[in-house]
Structure 1
Amino acid sequence: MNLTLWIATGLLAAVALGGGISKTFVPMDKLAAAPGGKWTEIGGVGFVRTLGVLELLAAVGLTLPAVLDIAPVLVPVTAVCWVVLMVGAMITHYRQGEIKFVAVNLVYLALAVFIAWGRFGPYCFTS
């Protein structure tokens, strides 16, 4: 089960890294034109860039604390934060009528719940 949690964490960290890089560094007009990018017109540049930085921090928070064995409790805490972020993303995509992206975000949310359950519960790093 520990290996499964590591794989899920790696996948979610890759998703967070990819989303964070795109939201932080890709021009807003290209983000808005991409599939599922209609929501970027609502929040403005600062909001989108802030979300990008948060996703970059999530990629770091999901992996480095456990790898470096420095405050590994931050891994499930980051997973819980990702759950909150995905609830917001699901609401936003639903309001935009982008149901396909609601389903994608639901998968990411499920991965984060699994990581939080496993790392807070039976497979925490301290036991």
Structure 2
Amino acid sequence: MDANVWLWILAGFLALIFLGTGILKLTRTRDEIVEQGLAWAEDYPESTLRWLGWAEVLGAVGVVLPPSVGLGIVVPVTAVALGLLMVGALVVHVRRRELLPDALRTLALIAMCAVLAGYRFGPEAF
């Protein structure tokens, strides 16, 4: 399989994950988010959850839409930004001792963002 194809698959996968979690944070109250299994949300005000939701939705759009309008450089920049957002999430999960599966899942997202950014900045740039 061509590297460009699997990078598009990876970008689509990341977009779906971040779009889903972002919409959840934008459309639910903090209590509903906690009930959905995101216990860490109880430590933050709803305004912070909304901000995180918007960051995730914009990130989801940023890893798939820009190449179609000639702004391919936005993809790796967005992947780095999402990766940094996930580093912050990792810190939260480790502090709360939410190691399995939360911190492990977050590490996987960081790795996927790093792979996408690395390839799109490098050998598979648009």
Please classify the TM superposition score into its range, dividing by the shorter chain length.
over 0.9
Contact 1:94 1:102 in 2 (8 A): yes
Aligned residue type for 2:65 = L
Q: Determine the structure 1 residue equivalent to 2:55.
A: 54
Q: Deviations over 1:41-98 (max 9, x none)?
A: 21111000100000000011111101232x2100000000011011000110111121
Match of 1:110 in 2: 111
Cα deviations by residue, 1:3-43 (Å, 9 ceiling, x for unpaired): 111110000000110010001111211101222x1211211
Aligned length: 123
Unaligned 5+ runs, structure 1:
none
Q: Which residue of 2 is the match for residue 84 of structure 1?
A: 84
In structure 2, distance between residues paired with 1:94 and 1:38: 13
- TM-score, normalised by the number of residues in structure 1: 0.93
Indicate if the aligned counterparts of 2:31 and 2:42 stay in contact, CA closer than 8 A: no
| Structure 1 runs of 4+ with >6 Å offset | none
C-alpha distance in 1 between matches for 2:107 and 2:81: 14
Spell out, residue by residue over 1:83-127, the C-alpha distance to the aligned partner (whole angstroms, 9 max, x if none).
Answer: 1011000110111121110000111111100100110000000xx
Unaligned runs of 5+ in 2: none
Query: In the alignment, is the contact (CA less than 8 A) between 1:38 and 1:96 conserved in 2?
Result: no
Distance 2:4 2:74 in 1: 17
